[in-house]
A = this chain, B = another copy of it.
Amino acid sequence: MKVENPTSRDIADLAGVSQATVSRALRNSPLVREETRNRIQAIARELNYFVNRNAAGLRTHQSNTIALLLFDETGGEDAQINPFFLPMLGYITRSAAELGYDVLISMQQLTDDWHIEYQASHRADGLILLGYGDYMTYREKLRALARANTRFIIWGPTINEQPGHSIGCDNVIGGLQAARHLLGAGRRRIAFLGNTTRRCPEFAARYEGFRRAHEELGIGFDPGLKVDADNLTTLGSRGIEQLLADGRVFDAVFAVTDAIAIDAIHALQQNGYDVPGDVAVVGFDDIPLAAHVTPALTTVRQDIRQASEALVKSIVGLIEGEPVESSLMAPRLIVRQSCGASG
């Protein structure tokens, strides 16, 4: 009675019904009498039978799979995913599972012909694009995607001419919140650490909000306090060293990522500055370590979970033909000790 790789026909034989009835029963069709359905499902369970997804997919033209395309910044040398996106994977996977979708991940380089294949080959019903920061670079690829009627949603800012839909963090608001908070606490000379070139539109947006907070209060911002640099990991300490070497006076630091902020705190402490006494520090991201460094880091948190769920909800909506809109989600300031305003 044990069958090697059972098919619906095997179940049918065992249950004494037609293969069509087995198929209906396993999909919980109301057309099948309950008693029959239960019997069939029991046999299927007994035999460890699972519907062949290839056959079902061939028939229905669906894969019930979402492809997650992560932009590979290393150009193929290394394979490090931008660490910021990693935690999203878990949330995306779970949300997708709740809606009955599997998640296929793929690292894609800019040079790859990454657009159309997943959907055209029926491996995925739609795509989520993570890490495609600079729209201008991808413009043509996105257009090709749209032309091929591929369903996709981008994690990133909403840009007018950009094809498709996107869901992103409102980085301007984030920068605004950080700077407002420091200015509200009486800090007047806030250094800005972060790369705001076109390569990093998110950081540029954070700077925009930072600048706007100064404007709101009619406080000028000294351009000498803005440290731009390429290498993000060491920017914290190098930025501080540079500011000190240049003899800049500052009473606060806003870093575009927590990694930079934490590195900056170290450098400040090493140079004998008290944080937040002498210099307040605010970061961005709320990475796990942020709450555990000393002083605990005040930072701007993007709701990664909410964002992930929204991305999945949108792509599934697109797949199932529902209306979908682009949106920006407001981040939230998490006040801890490093800003000196935690009461």
Contacts and interface: CB of A to CB of B under 8 A. Distances in A.
A159 interface: no
A236 B86 contact: no
Contact of A259 (B89, B237, B292): B292
8 contacts: A49-B120, A53-B123, A54-B55, A79-B90, A79-B95, A79-B308, A259-B288, A266-B293
Contact of A93 (B5, B51, B105, B116): B105
A89 to B, nearest CB: 6
A75 B148 CA distance: 40
Category for how many chain A residues contact B: 35 or more
Interface in A256-277: 259, 262-263, 266-267, 269-270
A259 B86 CA distance: 17
A9 interface: no
A107 B105 CA distance: 13
Contacts of A293: 262-263, 266
A79 B93 contact: yes
Interface string A155-174: 00000000000000000000
A28 interface: no
Interface string A55-96: 101100001010000101000101111010011011101110
A52 B48 contact: no
Contacts of A93: 79, 105-107
A102 B123 contact: yes
A259 B54 CA distance: 44
A289 interface: yes
A249 interface: no
Among A91, A97, A107, residue most surrounded by chain B Cβ atoms (within 10 Å) = A107
B81 A90 contact: yes
